[in-house]
């Protein structure tokens, strides 16, 4: 049996990430038994209809009994509540991990409540779409995407290696960071872009001089791309803003300074400065494509529109 496999995996939360894990585990045979838990009976029923697991329960405490691997896939603000619910029911030697987009906060919420006889290894798969819920998941969501771990100082190397092997079996590339460094990195590469998208779409929605029908009818590729980000789960992003506050505010301050500089360049017709900035950002885009994190296809939603035509 592969080192990436577990006898029983408990998934606490079965949205996009949780359901994608369930599908990947099933497809690749990474567990003998999958237990799914979520507080919503409606969501739990849907997960059962989709046959995402082997056992289903609204009780997180019940779900983790005898589980070798517990994956918490809930909004980061609910992390402490889950830790309290499952702490007394965890099997000695079990690995407990999460998928939250902020790590210092999740560690502060969960670590004090988890018993010393389990291995708590915080994690964060950098994968997702704007869709949510158990229907949104798919087995290849993590293929070629990064999963970052922020191990605690006393983390057992064998437990970490086993969890790394599990995520790599799901298709992820893996890396490790200090929790605070992770939170700063994610503030610029994920959190700030989403916040800007929410703000831009909100501005368009509030603009009295432009009707909503015009915003929708004439949406060019830039605005369409922003609306994809701005369609992400509101609960998740509310919690991210509240639980990575310091790093996000730092990046927002830097962004505001750079935006003010851009305003001055536009106001004073400083074409050379504008050209230099746009050339530099174009190079960043090329680097992302070269790193395999996107493809060089100018799609912008047209491909799906052409298929309908």
For the chain, give the mean pLDDT: 89
Q: What is the dihedral of CA 17, 23, 29, 35, to 10 degrees?
A: 70
1 located within any domain: no
What's the rounded Cα separation, in Å, for the pair 242 and 22? 28
CATH code, domain carrying 169 = 3.40.50.720
Judge whether 205 and 230 are in contact, CB under 8 Å: no
What's the rounded Cα separation, in Å, for the pair 245 and 4? 35
Percent of the chain with pLDDT over 90: 72
Query: What pTM was computed for the model?
Result: 0.85
281 located within any domain: yes
Asked if 61 and 134 sit in the same domain, the reply is yes
274 located within any domain: yes
CATH code, domain carrying 205 = 1.10.3660.10
Asked if 162 and 236 sit in the same domain, the reply is no
| pLDDT tens digit at each of 309 positions of the chain | 444 489 999 999 999 999 999 999 999 999 999 999 999 999 999 999 999 999 999 999 999 999 999 999 999 999 999 999 999 999 999 999 999 999 999 999 999 999 999 999 999 999 877 778 899 889 999 999 999 999 999 999 999 999 999 999 999 999 999 999 999 999 999 999 999 999 988 888 777 566 667 777 777 667 888 888 888 889 888 999 999 999 999 999 999 999 999 999 999 999 999 999 999 988 888 887 887 776 676 554 444 444 443
217 located within any domain: yes
Asked if 164 and 225 sit in the same domain, the reply is no
Which tens digit of pLDDT belongs to each residue from 167-178?
999 999 999 999
Asked if 204 and 285 sit in the same domain, the reply is yes
- Range of the structural domain that residue 251 is part of: 181-303
Asked if 148 and 95 sit in the same domain, the reply is yes
309 located within any domain: no
- Which of the listed residues 177, 208, 237 is the one where a domain comes to its end? 177
pLDDT recorded at residue 258: 94
- Which of the listed residues 177, 206, 238 is the one where a domain comes to its end? 177
Asked if 246 and 264 sit in the same domain, the reply is yes
Asked if 186 and 152 sit in the same domain, the reply is no
Asked if 92 and 191 sit in the same domain, the reply is no
Residue 291, φ and ψ in degrees, nearest 5: -80, 0
Asked if 173 and 258 sit in the same domain, the reply is no
226 located within any domain: yes
Judge whether 163 and 123 are in contact, CB under 8 Å: yes
Per the structure, how many domains does the chain have? 2
308 located within any domain: no
Asked if 96 and 204 sit in the same domain, the reply is no
Asked if 152 and 282 sit in the same domain, the reply is no
- Which of the listed residues 177, 200, 223 is the one where a domain comes to its end? 177
CA distance between the termini of the chain: 49
Q: What is the dihedral of CA 224, 227, 231, 235, to 10 degrees?
A: 160
pLDDT recorded at residue 298: 57
49 located within any domain: yes
Asked if 11 and 152 sit in the same domain, the reply is yes
Q: What is the 3-state secondary structure (H, E, C) of 245-301?
A: HHHHHHHHHHHHHHHHHHHHHHHCCCHHHHHHHHHHHHHHHHHHHHCCCCCCCCCCC
């Amino acid at each position: 049996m592969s080192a990436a496999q577990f006898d029983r995996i408990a998934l606490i939360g079965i949205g996009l990430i949780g359901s994608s894990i369930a599908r990947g585990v099933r497809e690749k045979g990474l567990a003998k038994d999958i237990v799914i838990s979520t507080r919503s009976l409606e969501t739990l029923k849907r997960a059962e209809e989709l046959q995402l697991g082997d056992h289903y329960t609204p009780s997180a405490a019940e779900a983790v009994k005898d589980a070798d691997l517990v994956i918490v896939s809930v909004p980061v603000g609910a992390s402490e509540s889950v830790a309290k619910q499952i702490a007394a029911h965890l099997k000695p030697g079990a690995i407990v991990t999460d998928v939250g987009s902020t790590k210092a906060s999740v560690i502060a919420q969960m670590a004090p409540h988890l018993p010393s006889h389990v291995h708590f290894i915080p994690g964060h798969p950098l994968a997702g779409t704007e869709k949510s819920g158990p229907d949104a998941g798919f087995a290849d969501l993590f293929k070629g995407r990064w999963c970052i771990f922020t191990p605690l100082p006393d983390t057992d190397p064998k437990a970490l290696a086993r969890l790394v092997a599990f995520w790599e079996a799901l298709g992820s590339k893996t890396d490790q960071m200090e929790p605070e460094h992770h939170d700063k990195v994610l503030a610029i590469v994920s959190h700030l872009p989403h916040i800007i998208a929410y703000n831009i779409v909100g501005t368009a929605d509030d603009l009295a001089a432009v009707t909503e029908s015009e915003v929708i009818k004439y949406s060019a590729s830039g605005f369409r791309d922003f609306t994809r980000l701005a369609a992400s789960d509101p609960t998740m992003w509310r919690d991210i803003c509240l639980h990575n506050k310091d790093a996000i505010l730092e990046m927002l301050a830097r962004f505001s300074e750079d935006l003010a500089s851009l305003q001055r360049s536009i106001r004073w017709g400083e074409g050379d400065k504008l050209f230099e900035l746009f050339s530099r950002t174009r190079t960043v885009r090329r680097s992302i494509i070269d790193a395999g994190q996107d493809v060089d296809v100018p799609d912008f939603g047209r491909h799906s529109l052409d298929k309908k035509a």
